Amino acid sequence: MTTLTGLGLLDGGEGDPKVVALPRRPIRREPLDADGVAMLGTWVALAPIAMLFLAFVSAFIVRRGLGEGWTAIRLPALVWVNTAVLLTSSFTLELARHASRRGGKDAGWMGRTLLLGGMFLAGQTVAWKMLFGAGVSLGLTPYGSFFYLLTGCHAVHLAGGLLALAAAALWPRDGTRKLSRHGAIRVCAIYWHFMTIVWVGILSLLMIGR
Amino acid sequence: MSVATQQKPPAHGHAPPEGFLWKYVFSKDHKVIGIQYYFLALVSVFMGMGMSLLIRLQLAYPDRMWPLLGKIFPKGMADGVLSPEFYLSMVTMHGTMMVFFVLTTAPQGGFGNYILPIQIGARDMAFPTLNMLSFWTTFAGFCALVAAFFVQGGAPLGGWTGYAPLSALGEIAGPGQGMGLNLWILSIALFCLASLLGALNFLATTLAMRAEGMSLMRMPLTVWAWFTTAVLSLLAFPVLLGGGVLLLMDRIGGTSFFVPSGLVVAGQPIDHHGGSVILWQHLFWFFGHPEVYIAIIPGMGAVSTILSTFARKPVFGYKAMVLAIFAIGGLGFFVWGHHMFISGMSPYTAVAFSLLTLTIGVPSAVKTFNWLGTLWGAKIRFTTPMLFALGFVSLFVTGGLTGIFLGQTSIDLWFHDTYFVVGHFHMIMGVAAIFGIFAATYFWFPKMFGRLMNEGLGKIHFMLTFIGVYAIFVPMHALGLAGHPRRYYDSSTYEYLRSANSLHMVITWAAFFTAAAQLLFLVNFFWSLWKGKRAGDNPWEATTLEWSIPSPPPFDNFGALEPVVHHGPFEFSVPGAAKDFVMQTDPPSAATGKH
């Protein structure tokens, strides 16, 4: 009981008589501006996306552990080209973010990022078609099922990111919106880099878990 | 120093929307959205209750014909008797409707949305558009679920847990397992997405939008509860969503995530290979157990606030209460295996899950102890919200104690899938959470609608409901002790269950009695909306920020001034203060009475 009292766990918060005697001042804190709120929201939003992919990864590990019928499929070489495109898009977006921070010309880098993002998604569609063409249906092997699941889910998320990138590329510079242009590019960059990391994770899992 | 000079003009504000559509339908105002969620839950709870009454009719009178019901449900009760498929679809849809669209929707989506921003001194949620989208996505999920009744084959049959492999096979597993189950999965998926949008908003709002002076340890326990619930939602719903995607791929895409080899259903070999039915259980319960806390934690927050308000005492052990909420939420992620003790898991794993489960008893006991500590020596005002809050504590203890039985592997082997489990989870997750919702409704109704609910009717409603729910769910424990399995369509066909019929009849009569008592609530609710006594700003003499503004609050909550917080959330009966409560926005000198 003494320990609990010492930790203050049994007092009634600020309503407790012994606390009342203390001088009280409003606690000052600077409220977040629109950019700060958007950043916070984006960071928080990464948690459920991570949980979704972790659920799939745990399912992958369980299914591989069962062993039955686990035959790896040969991934099209195009997947590696797509990986390079995605990594480059993260790089160009980073350049756009740096340029926008200085209030400089970010439109070119944003355009290139959009192009590379679009190329990645198109490349993935071709890769899926190639696999389908080779007879790898959704349910042919569990490894293949997971390939379609993981890459498909990543593509859906990236398509959302592409829309957000397009909006950020068109975002006004004149401060007419609460969220600044730099703020819009920053939140896109956080999301986009995260999806690049997820992609590297997916590929690593598919390689290690063959 | 006056209150007004303690406050400052708003840093930003926005004009209210114009036109019915933008003001009441696609509104971005957290208060309108909160009421929308509340009314969705109200419709859902009466639908869910109606289904439970049909279930109870069948269990008490398995052979009797109900011609009138036969006319209302020409397919499910063609000759006036519930068909086994219709009975099972009622069980499935009752569970789904109640868990998602009542127990998750009302406490968090309804009250959380309405009250949280005001209690922290914000003008709205951090992302109002996402908030609106969240409600309408939930509504789309509700429509998808209801649509399952009307498609070929009817509603799904496999229980709210949607266990594989029967959920992964389509119509061969039963008429409702076809299109009906597809819609069920769609409904759950939409609900998951909506909950994620909502949870994101709750977290960002609490972290970023608090008024000056609203430090974390000055937040009311309701805010801590909604915050913790949002964290749980954010981490649990994606896993259910992922499981739903895999299930849909098995059903439509021909994959075999959950379907094992060599399965024969309805005499036909199934062309799937190598999946794991246990994988679905792991994914489902990784969500499913935190979901229990998603339903109950907001109730804990509301009850703490209400007990303190009507005991006219600070919450006993505020910090311990905050830590206990976090401990319950955190531990809730490591106990899902206790739903699967009979799934063939290693006994060592089961022991770990069992120990972790029993550990939840510690923070739960801390909360109960502190609620009793809050009441100790108090001059209690027995208002209707207070009665329901006390009822919550009673049900939480009763339901929690049977959880300690079920958390132990050796005892659960006997009780698994019996009525003991049905009694347990209805007590704690169902009725305790519902009592939390009732307490919150009677407490915040005057703030939300500007009028008080009728106290006399409210007290009768409490008494009848309190007696009714105990009369329904305590006998279920006895049925479970006797080994009565849950979900059975007709227990009279089993020799060893015949003696259970009299108890089934008692439960059914108690269920109808309790359901009838809810009509009093409905009458009180709608009568009070128009005819209730005007509430004023602070009818309960409470301390938190929502009681410092008009009832109902204006569009931007705080009008021309930004609130500044000087006090903790539960400063009641402070020695030396002029009145027995100090509001959070009162000037610093209010607590001592010295100016």
In this structure, the answer to whether residues B181 and B242 fall within a common structural domain is: yes
Assess contact for B381 and B310: CB atoms under 8 A.
yes
**Measured distance CA(B400)–CA(B403) in Å, rounded:** 5
CA count, 13 A, side-chain hemisphere, B226: 32
Residues contacting residue B340 through CB under 8 Å, at least 6 positions apart? B278, B281, B282, B285
Topology of domain A34-66+73-208, per CATH?
Four Helix Bundle (Hemerythrin (Met), subunit A) (1.20.120)
The number of distinct structural domains making up chain B is 3
Q: Is residue B23 part of a domain?
A: no
In a mutagenesis test of the A interface, which of B318, B366, B565, B567 is the best target, namely the one with the most A β-carbons within 10 Å? B318
Q: Would you state the pLDDT for residue B218?
A: 96
Query: Residue B14: its pLDDT value, please?
Result: 61
- Let me know whether B32 and B152 are in one domain: yes
Residue B172 tokens read as: 């061969």
Enumerate the domain spans of chain A: 34-66+73-208
Q: Based on the domain organization, do B348 and B201 belong to the same domain? A: no
Instruction: Answer yes or no: do B593 and B516 share one domain.
Output: no
Domain shared by B435 and B511, yes or no: yes
What string of DSSP letters covers B241-262? HHHHHHHHIIIII---SS--TT
Provide the shortest C-alpha distance from residue A136 to chain B (in Å): 12
**Residue B396: how many CB atoms within 10 A of its CB?**
25
- Whether B575 and A44 lie within 8 Å, measured CB to CB: no
In CATH, what number is assigned to the domain containing residue B113?
1.20.210.10
Chain B residue with Cα closest to A66: B274
User: Do B542 and B522 sit in the same domain of this protein?
Assistant: no
Q: Is residue B13 domain-resident? A: no
CB of A20 within 8 Å of any CB in chain B? yes
DSSP class of residue B592 equals: T
* pLDDT mean over A86-96: 97
| Paired residues of B562 in beta bridges | B8
Q: Domain for residue B85, yes or no?
A: yes
DSSP conformation class of B211: P
Residue B22 in any domain: the answer is no
Same domain assignment for residues B554 and B516: no
Would the pLDDT of A11 be above 80? no
Q: What is the pLDDT of residue B593?
A: 58
Please answer yes or no on whether B319 and A153 come within 8 Å at the CB atom: no
Work out the pLDDT band at A22, boundaries 50, 70, 90: very low
Instruction: Classify residue B2: in a domain, yes or no.
Output: no
**B403 and B517 inside one domain:** yes
8 A C-beta contact, residue B242 and residue B152? no
Whether residues B180 and B63 share a domain: the answer is yes
Shortest CA gap A14–chain B (Å): 5
Residue A9's pLDDT band (boundaries 50, 70, 90)?
low
Average pLDDT over every residue of A94-99:
96
In B398-457, the residues whose Cβ lies within 8 Å of chain A are: none
CB contact under 8 A, A56 and B212: no
**Is B428 found in the same domain as B374?**
yes
Whether residue B80 is found in the same domain as residue B192: yes
CA distance B271 to B268: 9
Residue B1 lies in a domain: no
In a mutagenesis test of the B interface, which of A11, A14, A40, A178 is the best target, namely the one with the most B β-carbons within 10 Å? A14
**Is A14 an interface residue toward B (CB < 8 Å)?**
yes
Nearest CA in chain A to B594: A21
Please write the tens of the pLDDT for every residue from A130-158.
Answer: 999 999 999 999 999 999 999 999 999 99
Question: Of the candidates B92, B108, B220, which has an alpha carbon nearest to the alpha carbon of residue B148?
Answer: B92
Task: Let me know whether B486 and B558 are in one domain.
Answer: no
Query: CA–CA separation, B343 vs B167, rounded Å?
Result: 17
Rounded to an integer, what distance in angstroms lies between the CA atom of residue B380 and that of residue B317? 19
**B95, amino acid identity:** G
Give the per-residue pLDDT at B590.
Answer: 78
pLDDT of residue A28: 52
The rounded distance, in Å, linking the Cα atoms of B160 and B103 is 14
Interface mutation target, options B207, B239, B343, B585, chain A, most CBs of A under 10 Å? B239
Tell me whether residue B366 is in a domain: yes
Neighbours of B401 (CB within 10 A): 14
Measure in Å the smallest separation between the Cα of B387 and chain A Cα atoms: 22
Domain span holding position B555: 538-595
What pLDDT is stored for residue B594 in this prediction? 54
* Segment-wise mean pLDDT, segments of 10 residues, chain B, 595 residues: 41 67 90 98 98 97 93 91 95 98 97 97 94 97 97 94 95 94 97 97 95 94 98 98 97 94 93 92 96 97 98 96 97 95 93 96 96 96 98 97 95 95 96 98 98 98 98 97 94 91 96 98 97 96 97 91 93 92 91 60
Asked if B234's CB is within 8 angstroms of A55's CB, the reply is no
| For B6, nearest residue in chain A (alpha carbons) | A26
